[in-house]
Structure 1
Amino acid sequence: MLHDRGAVLSAGFLLLIVVMALGAPALAAITGHGPDEFDPSAINTDLGGLPKGALGGISAEHWFGVEPGNGRDILARIAYGARVSILIALSATFLTTLLGVVLGMLAGFFRGWIDQGISRFMDFLMAFPALIFMIAILSSLPSGNRSVLLVVVISVFGWPYLARVIRGQTMTLVNREFVEAARASGASTAALVFREILPNLRNSLIVMTTLAVPGYIGTEAGLSFLGVGVAPPTPSWGQMISSSVGWYAVDPMYFAIPGVFLFLTVLSLTVLGDRVRAAIDSGEAS
């Protein structure tokens, strides 16, 4: 993968985003502007709050410009928004993977009524139009810790897709010769699951989790854009894009900067996930 230009560029951009997210407080200290700090001197009140200067107020003091109407620093909000997006996406991916692997392996290994119960529950969840029900559920819940609520709701609707794949692969592996040999030698159920079956699911899990992260980043941004995700004043890329709707014509940079960061992050994760899948398939073929 080091010889793949797309993978290297994607990994480099993702490293930049991670550094920005982890170093958001230090970045705010260097620039002198926090994510919620208003700067009235950076906007022109006579023009309805438009940023002073060209390109949305980009200057040596505000590297990515400021938000119209309040003068908040866009760079600081991009960095703190990256923390929110990455944390929610990784947490949802972890919880989805945990539920999908555990329930998928239970259904595939034990079969019978356990398989029937888990499979019907998966069918039930997959029958819902996920985005519509996410919006409905989040709209009806109190605006407490929205990040935790987002992780839970995304995971509830996300795990069945992984579980179905794990179930099918587990059912295939259970009948393989090396599992039958381990069972004949007196291996316990735990040994069969953790030593024989789970290691053989590793490649599929790597591919599916790698491709799940960009999807969850996009889902969080979409829900925040619709006003049911991360609530102000917590920064979010989707929330920033939503706030820029009324300023498209007069300050396009307010929309363009968070939009470009969101697009490149999702694209980089997707490309990197695809390259990982290709590398794993190549390794298995060889």
Structure 2
Amino acid sequence: MSDPKLTAVGHDEVGAGAVTGTHDEEAGARQNSLWSDAWRQLRRNVLFWIGAVLGLLFVGMALLPAVFARGVDPRSCSLSNSNARPSAEHWFGFDQQGCDYLANVVYGARNSLIIGLLAVIVILVLGVLVGAISGFYGGITDSILSRIADIFYALPLILGALVVLRSGILGRGVVAVAIALALFGWMTAMRLVRSQVIAIKSSDYVAAARAMGASDTRILVRHILPNAVAPVLVYATITIGILIAAEATLTFLGVGLQPPAISWGLQIDTGQSLLRTAPHAVLFPSLILTLTVMAFVLMGDALRDALDPKQRS
């Protein structure tokens, strides 16, 4: 004969597993519904498609620069072509060194996008980790982490990155610029995650998971963070464009990437002294930079409207 106590315990464990599984399925269903509704909204948003097409175009430039540069080497230069105007054969003309400017602008996309994406990844890691811990545990932990974020908030993004890069601690390479920008850009992501975690952790399905004995890590990873990711994703999409513009600004100020690196910021910096004699030296990198930033901002705005029920008509 089986022990009634063991049988009861077995039934309790099965029941707990079933309830936990049910809550996981419910959370997954909510997430699937959220993203499917958002995709239906995005498909009808013209601005989203404009941003997506432009974004894919510039990502393609970064991945396959030789194709967009028509096979021209950006470092193949001739002083006889110095500052030559655009023509049917050379669409963007030549720079001061006699290099094909289209090839240089195309190859400049790689460093700019790498810096933007790498900085956003670091921002998300820091923001999500610190925000989740701060919002979930609250109390003294929340106070300490929030005050640390306030300290970083005291320095604007460009000024903070400028100070770090000018000090030479990180160097002047692509990774150094990305880290310097991320160090002063993670606080907003942290605040977004913190507020979402505080709102969600009192939900019924979180209380049920806790009653079933789920650990804090499981509750955060399986129940809270998947439902808190939407505003952070919107912020990250828009921030990519902002960080690309910030990198160009730092490089223009002389503390970002340095020659022989190829960057839109370096091209704008070099071209500013040639504005009267060779305006194309400033026009084309500035135009491409503006379109790149606009692409990510358009996608971020469209994603925000799609994920926010209040924005839906």
Structure 1 length-normalised TM: 0.89
Q: Is the 8 A contact 1:143 1:231 kept in 2?
A: no
Q: Distance in 1 between matches of 2:301 and 2:156?
A: 26
- 1:249 corresponds in structure 2 to 276
SS in 1 for 2:75: coil
* Residue 167 of structure 1 pairs with residue 194 of structure 2: yes
Q: Is the 8 A contact 1:42 1:57 kept in 2?
A: no
1:26-58: CA deviation from partner (whole Å, max 9, x where unpaired) = 445x43x32222122323xxxxxx31xxxx243
Percent of matched pairs sharing the same residue: 33
- 2:57 corresponds in structure 1 to 16
- 2:79 corresponds in structure 1 to 40
- 1:90 corresponds in structure 2 to 117
Contiguous gaps of at least 5 residues in structure 2: 1-41
Runs of 4+ that moved beyond 3 A: 25-28, 142-145, 282-286
Deviation at 1:243, TM superposition (A): 0.7
1:138-175: CA deviation from partner (whole Å, max 9, x where unpaired) = 11206845211111111111111110121121111111
Deviation at 1:83, TM superposition (A): 0.5
* Residue 136 of structure 1 pairs with residue 175 of structure 2: no
Q: Distance in 1 between matches of 2:126 and 2:100?
A: 39
Q: Is the 8 A contact 1:59 1:65 kept in 2?
A: no
- Partner residue of 1:5 out of 38, 46, 68: 46
* Residue 259 of structure 1 pairs with residue 286 of structure 2: yes
- 2:131 corresponds in structure 1 to 104
SS in 1 for 2:185: helix
Q: Distance in 1 between matches of 2:154 and 2:105?
A: 36
Question: Given residue 242 of structure 2, which amino acid in structure 1 is its aligned partner?
Answer: G
Question: Given residue 307 of structure 2, which amino acid in structure 1 is its aligned partner?
Answer: I
Q: Distance in 2 between matches of 1:263 and 1:285?
A: 28
Q: Distance in 1 between matches of 2:195 and 2:88?
A: 56
Q: Distance in 2 between matches of 1:130 and 1:283?
A: 30
- 2:93 corresponds in structure 1 to 65
1:67-105: CA deviation from partner (whole Å, max 9, x where unpaired) = 02x111111111211001110000000110010000000
SS in 2 for 1:99: helix
SS in 2 for 1:249: coil
The 3 A distance-change label for structure 1 pair 214 and 122 is same
Paired residues, what number?
272
- 2:237 corresponds in structure 1 to 210
Question: Given residue 15 of structure 1, which amino acid in structure 2 is its aligned partner?
Answer: L
The 3 A distance-change label for structure 1 pair 110 and 143 is closer
Larger radius of gyration: 2
Question: Given residue 225 of structure 2, which amino acid in structure 1 is its aligned partner?
Answer: L
Q: Distance in 1 between matches of 2:67 and 2:237?
A: 29
Deviates more, 1:110-119 or 1:238-247: 110-119
SS in 2 for 1:158: coil
Deviation at 1:6, TM superposition (A): 2.0
* Residue 195 of structure 1 pairs with residue 222 of structure 2: yes
Question: Given residue 120 of structure 2, which amino acid in structure 1 is its aligned partner?
Answer: T
Q: Distance in 2 between matches of 1:188 and 1:143?
A: 38
The 3 A distance-change label for structure 1 pair 264 and 285 is closer
Q: Is the 8 A contact 2:238 2:297 kept in 1?
A: yes
1:202-235: CA deviation from partner (whole Å, max 9, x where unpaired) = 2112211111111111111110111111111111
Deviation at 1:283, TM superposition (A): 9.0
Deviation at 1:285, TM superposition (A): 6.5
CA RMSD of aligned residues (A): 1.9
Q: Distance in 2 between matches of 1:137 and 1:162?
A: 21
- 1:181 corresponds in structure 2 to 208
Q: Is the 8 A contact 2:62 2:109 kept in 1?
A: yes
Q: Is the 8 A contact 1:93 1:209 kept in 2?
A: yes
1:166-187: CA deviation from partner (whole Å, max 9, x where unpaired) = 1121111111111111101111
Question: Given residue 67 of structure 1, which amino acid in structure 2 is its aligned partner?
Answer: D
The 3 A distance-change label for structure 1 pair 132 and 236 is same
Structure 2 length-normalised TM: 0.82
Q: Distance in 1 between matches of 2:145 and 2:170?
A: 32
